[in-house]
Amino acid sequence: MTLKEVKIGDSVIVKKLHGEGAVKRRIMDMGITKGTEIYVRKVAPLGDPIEITVRGYELSVRKADAEMVEVEAV
């Protein structure tokens, strides 16, 4: 399952990051790394972006980036 598929109000744990080079580095720089817990707060009316809570702060992530984050339920 990817971060894009997670429902509002669910918490998940990051299993793996897909993607290459600068894209993967940008996701990791946002604090989304293997083993991190993510809580999905909101999804914008048109579905993009997704607002999440990670490491104690709120973050908006585009669907394209959320697809690269493989997660599992807590």
Q: Write the pLDDT tens digit of every residue in 11-57.
A: 999 999 998 889 899 999 989 999 999 999 999 988 789 999 999 99
Q: What average pLDDT score do residues 51-70 get?
A: 93
Number of domains in the chain: 1
Q: What pLDDT is stored for residue 46 in this prediction?
A: 85
CA distance 29 to 32: 7
Q: What pLDDT is stored for residue 19 in this prediction?
A: 85
Domain that holds residue 27: 3-73
CA distance 61 to 67: 10
Q: What pLDDT is stored for residue 49 in this prediction?
A: 92
CATH number, residue 8 = 2.30.30.90
74 or 13, which is more confident: 13
